[in-house]
């Protein structure tokens, strides 16, 4: 009798865990970007530029933000050459909230915000200077909040007939799993936790 009871309990717990896993699993949602405004920070090179190419090729209205105007111009040329689409460029440092706000306002209401800018100085903590630590936290973590806080009011206010809005944060697996470079890992981790809390409270 005790064996049957234990077996029943075992299967009951397993079933409960499976149901829980199904309830809390992340559900992927496809957000169409054709004719919608995609705003990409750090869009002048690397992953951000690749995303700008892809979004333009799919018919989105694309804006890119970074600091160097030369790199922005070069990025704009490359997207135009590849897709025929003219992206809007904005020169601003994400650490400067006023400059980011101005760029976001000028660009018009955003449908898809991709917060992708990032700097990475890969060192062990004892070899990292205070300036390097501050730079990574300011650009990668505080800068990301600056961008989201600047964009969010208009993203929320103008949804009528515009479909869902979305915010993507580009970070690194180094922060989630590898945890090799202490400061980079910690701020990537912090970014993930705090922005998921922020995102939940807004959308």
Ligand X SMILES: NC(=O)c1ccc[n+]([C@@H]2O[C@H](COP(=O)([O-])OP(=O)(O)OC[C@H]3O[C@@H](n4cnc5c(N)ncnc54)[C@H](OP(=O)(O)O)[C@@H]3O)[C@@H](O)[C@H]2O)c1
The partner residues of 168 in beta bridges, in order of sequence, read 114
Cβ-based nearer residue to ligand X, 20 or 119: 119
Cβ-based nearer residue to ligand X, 91 or 158: 91
How buried is 4 (Cβ within 10 angstroms: 0-12 exposed, 13-18 middle, 19+ buried)? exposed
Q: What are the C-alpha distances in Å from 57 to residues 50, 176, 183, 193?
A: 11, 31, 36, 32
Q: Would you tell me which residues interact with ligand X (CB under 6 A)?
A: 41-42, 44-48, 66-68, 71, 93-95, 116-120, 139, 143, 170, 172
Q: What residue is closest to ligand X based on CB?
A: 46
Cβ-based nearer residue to ligand X, 57 or 137: 137
Cβ-based nearer residue to ligand X, 83 or 89: 89
- Rounded to the nearest whole angstrom, what is the least distance from the CB of residue 117 to ligand X in the complex? 4
Distance CA 146, CA 95 (A): 7
- Rounded to the nearest whole angstrom, what is the least distance from the CB of residue 163 to ligand X in the complex? 26
Distance CA 52, CA 28 (A): 21
- Rounded to the nearest whole angstrom, what is the least distance from the CB of residue 107 to ligand X in the complex? 14
- Rounded to the nearest whole angstrom, what is the least distance from the CB of residue 82 to ligand X in the complex? 17
Distance CA 72, CA 64 (A): 8
């Amino acid at each position: 009798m005790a064996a049957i009871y234990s077996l029943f309990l075992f299967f009951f717990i397993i079933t409960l865990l499976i149901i829980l896993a199904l309830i809390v699993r992340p559900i992927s949602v496809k957000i169409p970007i054709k004719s919608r405004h995609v705003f990409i920070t750090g869009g002048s090179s690397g992953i951000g530029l690749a995303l700008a190419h892809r979004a333009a090729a799919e018919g989105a209205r694309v804006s890119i933000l970074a600091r160097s105007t030369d790199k922005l111009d070069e990025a704009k040329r490359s997207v135009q050459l590849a897709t025929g689409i003219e992206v809007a460029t904005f020169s601003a440092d994400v650490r400067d909230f006023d400059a980011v706000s101005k760029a976001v306002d000028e660009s018009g209401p955003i449908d898809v915000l991709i917060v992708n800018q990032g700097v990475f100085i890969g060192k062990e903590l004892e070899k990292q200077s205070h300036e390097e630590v501050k730079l990574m936290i300011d650009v990668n973590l505080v800068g990301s909040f600056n961008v989201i806080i600047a964009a969010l009011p208009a993203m929320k206010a103008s949804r009528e007939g515009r479909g869902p809005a979305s915010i993507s944060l580009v970070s690194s697996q180094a922060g989630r799993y590898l945890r090799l470079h202490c400061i980079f890992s910690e701020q990537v981790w912090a970014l993930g936790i705090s922005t998921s809390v922020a995102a939940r409270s807004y959308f």
